């Protein structure tokens, strides 16, 4: 086996692959070969580094140099300068926008400084398609420890002591869920990994599966031993081809190494894993709908109880955990429950992975300790708001969450505090908004998504959310009425109280949180027929300043509906009932004569 002096780690996640990271890998290998360095340095395609805003990324080890926005054309220079001569390519180093200084390595970057990577511990460090690299980082050691040292009940007690709660949105204690499935008597039990990630802007589970698939297999094996199951199923949306491929490779390798199949590690434990594919229905992230989908039925939630741990897939006890929850399991057993419980807050132990997106400088995947504040995440890890704009709100929990404002910035991020603030943890989507975002339109966007994704089984969700969306659309079109605000709140309360599943019960959260925190914006839309953020097209009013208009006719020639009139070299005007508010005139005017009110 070759021992390399240097490793060049290249992001191989979906986002960076779309920006030619596979070609970067190829070019780096070609450059190493051309310089006779094949035996000195190795190029490894890894999973996601997390810092998506700066991808593609090349990380050089062992000196921990972090190159950002790398292109295939940069590969030869990296090899010639860094690998051959030991000189860093300064122009590719990350430069902090606040301090304007290049970071010598990732440890000195604000994006990573406050992160604690447990679920993401191997992402960006190993080749996800090489089981030996996973094993080299203590992979499958936790499985061996559990099989050789603990009874199923003892292992479950360790999970309970850790305080790990489900990371899929509900926050149910993981050890308790396992214990319920363990005590049920059945000729067959199932372990299900929920990889049906559907929140807008969320890519946490996908990145873990793409960067560290063996950690999920190992966790499912441990769960199977604990609850007495011999069969595992990964329910993954078909839109994740790279994650599917790497799971398939990992399953094949685990079988080849005797880590899946019969008599695993000589412990008399049998377990195997298969993949099941979803068609992208958001509602199938709910565990009972997911199970029905796997059974070949329409993906609709069922009434609970019975819970899946009592009667799930094919009527058998079934334990369902999402990807991130499972990713914590192996390291939890290796480092111990007290170590895990020592991270986080009183009621929320460990870390949480968030997909940080929106109007923020450092878009990416982060893993932070529970209890960190929103301010730290947005302004330290996230690097603040793009283009120096003013922070307005952050939506946590995806379509099921709420919009939090400046007054919530010092709120510790955990299950209980986010709920108390009118939002929720959810699976980990976190979308930041600035002063240019209209909060009524934001609420409408999430309701439109919910309406599209509703399975239609229960009337509160099928009809109620449709009515909520229609009211929001009416307001953004400038047709809102005084009673609409009370109607929105009352209808939201009914839906929360009567919908069948978590999707319907939490769907009004974006409406309620924006009503609570941005009521003045709703009132401006209804009473003043204005959108304070200038985003609602129907409420835009274009007009021409006579003192600035030169009569050049550029705006009139660019208007597709002939709504602008006036003689050449004389001030023009806009016929309001003909204007379609397309903004073409604004783009054409070179004299700053057009305003939007």
Domain holding 520: CATH number?
1.20.1440.230
Output the average pLDDT for the chain. Answer: 94
Please, is 141 exposed, middle or buried when counting C-beta atoms within 10 Å of its C-beta (0-12, 13-18, 19+)?
A: middle
Last residue of a domain, one of 388, 416, 434: 434
pLDDT, residue 517, reads 95
Residue 119 lies in a domain: no
How many other C-beta atoms are found inside a 10 Å radius of the C-beta of residue 388? 9
How many other C-beta atoms are found inside a 10 Å radius of the C-beta of residue 382? 29
Give the domain CATH number at 44. 3.40.30.10
Look at residue 1 and tell me whether its pLDDT is greater than 60. no
**Do residue 188 and residue 278 come from a single domain?**
yes
pLDDT, residue 2, reads 65
Rounded mean pLDDT, 320-340:
97
Secondary-structure percent of the chain, ordered helix, strand, coil, rounded to 5: 45, 15, 40
Please choose, from the candidates 173, 174, 183, the residue with its C-alpha nearest in 3D space to the C-alpha of residue 153.
Answer: 183
| 72: Cα separation from own chain's centroid | 27
| C-alpha span between 229 and 189 (Å, rounded) | 4
Asked if residue 94 lies in contact with residue 109, where contact means CB atoms within 8 angstroms, the answer is yes
**Would you call 58 helix, strand, or coil by DSSP?**
strand
**Do residue 389 and residue 518 come from a single domain?**
no
**Do residue 199 and residue 95 come from a single domain?**
no
DSSP 11-46: E-SHHHHTTTHHHHHHHHHHHHHHTT-TTTEEEEEE
Rounded mean pLDDT, 302-328:
95
Asked if residue 444 lies in contact with residue 476, where contact means CB atoms within 8 angstroms, the answer is yes
**Do residue 443 and residue 399 come from a single domain?**
no
Q: Order of strands, edge to edge, in the sheet holding 231-237? A: 261-264, 269-278, 231-237, 190-195, 318-322
Residue 344 lies in a domain: no
Residue 121 lies in a domain: no
Look at residue 270 and tell me whether its pLDDT is greater than 90. yes
pLDDT, residue 398, reads 84
Q: Is the peptide bond before 305 cis (omega within 30 degrees of 0)?
A: yes
Residue 346 lies in a domain: no
Element spanning 538, H or E: none
**Do residue 47 and residue 142 come from a single domain?**
no
Please choose, from the candidates 193, 215, 332, 348, the residue with its C-alpha nearest in 3D space to the C-alpha of residue 274.
Answer: 193
| C-alpha span between 364 and 360 (Å, rounded) | 10
Lowest-confidence region among 405-409, 463-467, 580-584: 580-584
Last residue of a domain, one of 434, 457, 479: 434
**Do residue 258 and residue 215 come from a single domain?**
yes
pLDDT, residue 143, reads 98
pTM: 0.92
Q: Is the peptide bond before 467 cis (omega within 30 degrees of 0)?
A: no
| C-alpha span between 566 and 550 (Å, rounded) | 11
Last residue of a domain, one of 401, 434, 467: 434
Residue 311 lies in a domain: yes
pLDDT, residue 581, reads 87
pLDDT, residue 316, reads 97
| C-alpha span between 46 and 124 (Å, rounded) | 5
Lowest-confidence region among 259-263, 281-285, 473-477: 281-285
Asked if residue 482 lies in contact with residue 519, where contact means CB atoms within 8 angstroms, the answer is no
Residue 124 lies in a domain: no
Copy the structure tokens of residue 386: 């793009």
**Do residue 183 and residue 137 come from a single domain?**
yes
**Do residue 19 and residue 48 come from a single domain?**
yes
**Do residue 400 and residue 452 come from a single domain?**
no
Comparing 534 with 517, the larger pLDDT belongs to 517
* pLDDT tens, position by position, 167-221: 988 899 999 999 999 999 999 999 999 999 888 878 899 999 999 999 999 999 9
Rounded mean pLDDT, 452-461:
92
Q: Over the range 153-167, which residues count as b (16 or more CB within 10 Å of their CB) and which as e?
A: eebbbbbbbbbbbbb
β-pair partners for 396: 402, 430
Give the domain CATH number at 553. 3.30.70.20
Residue 125 lies in a domain: no
Lowest-confidence region among 12-21, 91-100, 223-232: 91-100
CA angle 440, 445, 450 (to 5 degrees): 125
Who contacts 240 (Cβ-Cβ below 8 Å, separation ≥6)? 14, 195, 206, 209
Give the domain CATH number at 407. 3.10.20.600
Residue 345 lies in a domain: no
Asked if residue 445 lies in contact with residue 535, where contact means CB atoms within 8 angstroms, the answer is no
Please choose, from the candidates 171, 163, 118, 166, the residue with its C-alpha nearest in 3D space to the C-alpha of residue 142.
Answer: 118
Domain count, the chain: 5
Domain of 164, in residue numbers: 131-339
* pLDDT tens, position by position, 286-299: 999 999 999 999 99
pLDDT, residue 170, reads 82
**Do residue 284 and residue 151 come from a single domain?**
yes
Look at residue 271 and tell me whether its pLDDT is greater than 60. yes
**Do residue 268 and residue 219 come from a single domain?**
yes
DSSP 362-420: S-EEEEEETT-BHHIIIIIIS-SBGGGPPEEEEEESGGGSEEE-GGGTT-B-SHHHHHH
Task: Provide the pLDDT confidence category of residue 400 given band limits of 50, 70 and 90.
Answer: confident
SS (H, E, C) 151-210: CHHHHHHHHHHHCCECCCCCCCEHHHHHHHHHHCCCCCCEEEEEECCCCCCCCHHHHHHH
Asked if residue 467 lies in contact with residue 134, where contact means CB atoms within 8 angstroms, the answer is no
| C-alpha span between 393 and 421 (Å, rounded) | 13
pLDDT, residue 409, reads 96
Please choose, from the candidates 273, 272, 274, 308, the residue with its C-alpha nearest in 3D space to the C-alpha of residue 290.
Answer: 308
Torsion of CA 354, 383, 25, 323, to 10 degrees: 0
pLDDT, residue 541, reads 84
* pLDDT tens, position by position, 338-386: 999 999 999 999 999 999 999 999 999 999 999 999 999 999 999 999 9
CA within 13 Å, CB half, 245: 12
**Do residue 509 and residue 590 come from a single domain?**
no
* Percent above pLDDT 90 for the chain: 85
Copy the structure tokens of residue 562: 């002939």
Copy the structure tokens of residue 272: 């195997």
């Amino acid at each position: 086996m070759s021992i390399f002096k240097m490793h060049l780690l290249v992001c191989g996640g979906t986002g960076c692959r779309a920006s030619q990271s596979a070609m970067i890998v190829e070019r780096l290998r070609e450059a190493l070969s051309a310089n006779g360095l094949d035996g000195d340095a190795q190029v490894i395609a890894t999973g996601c580094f997390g810092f998506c805003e700066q991808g593609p990324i090349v990380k050089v080890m062992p000196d921990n140099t972090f190159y950002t926005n790398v292109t295939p054309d940069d590969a030869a220079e990296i090899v010639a300068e860094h690998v051959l001569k030991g000189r860093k390519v300064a122009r590719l180093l990350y430069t902090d926008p606040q301090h304007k200084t290049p970071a010598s390595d990732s440890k000195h970057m604000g994006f990573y400084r406050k992160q604690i990577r447990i679920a993401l511990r191997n992402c960006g460090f190993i080749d996800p398609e090489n089981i030996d690299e996973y094993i080299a980082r203590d992979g499958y050691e936790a499985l061996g420890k559990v099989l050789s040292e603990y009874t199923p009940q003892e292992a479950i007690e360790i999970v309970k002591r850790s305080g790990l709660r489900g990371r899929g949105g509900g926050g149910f204690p993981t050890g308790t869920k396992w214990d319920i499935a363990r005590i049920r008597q059945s000729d067959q039990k199932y372990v299900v990994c929920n990889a049906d990630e559907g929140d807008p802007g969320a890519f946490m589970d996908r990145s873990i599966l793409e960067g560290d698939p063996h950690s999920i297999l190992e966790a499912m094996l441990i769960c199977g031993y604990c609850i007495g199951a011999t069969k595992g199923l990964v329910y993954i949306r078909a839109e994740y081809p790279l994650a599917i491929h790497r799971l398939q490779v990992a399953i094949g390798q685990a079988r080849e190494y005797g880590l899946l199949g019969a008599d695993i590690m000589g412990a008399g434990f049998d377990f195997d894993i298969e993949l099941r594919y979803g068609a992208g229905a958001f509602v199938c992230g709910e565990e009972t709908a997911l199970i029905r989908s796997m059974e070949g039925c329409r993906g609709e939630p069922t009434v609970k109880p019975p819970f899946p741990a009592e009667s799930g897939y094919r009527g058998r006890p079934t334990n369902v955990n999402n990807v991130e929850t499972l990713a914590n399991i192996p390291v939890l057993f290796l480092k111990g429950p007290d170590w895990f419980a020592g991270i986080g807050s009183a009621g929320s132990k460990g870390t949480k992975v968030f997909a940080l997106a929106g109007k923020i400088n450092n878009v990416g995947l982060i893993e932070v300790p529970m209890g960190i504040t929103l301010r730290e995440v947005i302004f330290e890890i996230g690097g603040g708001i793009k283009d120096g704009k003013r922070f307005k709100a952050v939506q946590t929990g995806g379509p099921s969450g709420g919009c939090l404002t400046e007054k919530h910035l010092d709120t510790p991020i955990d299950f209980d505090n986010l709920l108390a603030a009118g939002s929720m943890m959810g699976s980990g989507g976190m979308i930041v908004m600035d002063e240019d975002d209209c909060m009524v339109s934001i609420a409408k966007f999430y309701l439109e998504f919910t309406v599209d994704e509703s399975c239609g089984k229960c009337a509160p969700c099928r009809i109620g959310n449709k009515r909520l969306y229609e009211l929001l659309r009416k307001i953004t079109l400038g047709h809102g009425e005084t009673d609409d605000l009370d109607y929105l709140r009352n209808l939201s309360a009914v839906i929360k109280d009567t919908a069948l599943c978590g999707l319907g019960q939490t769907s009004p959260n974006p409406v309620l949180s924006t009503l609570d925190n941005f009521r003045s914006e709703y009132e401006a839309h209804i009473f003043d027929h204005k959108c304070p953020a200038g985003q609602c097209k129907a409420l835009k009013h274009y007009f021409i300043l006579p003192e600035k208009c030169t009569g050049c006719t550029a705006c009139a020639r660019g208007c597709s509906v002939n709504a602008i009139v006036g003689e050449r070299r004389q001030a023009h005007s806009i016929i309001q009932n003909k204007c379609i508010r397309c903004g073409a005139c604004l783009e054409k005017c070179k004299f700053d004569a057009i305003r939007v009110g």
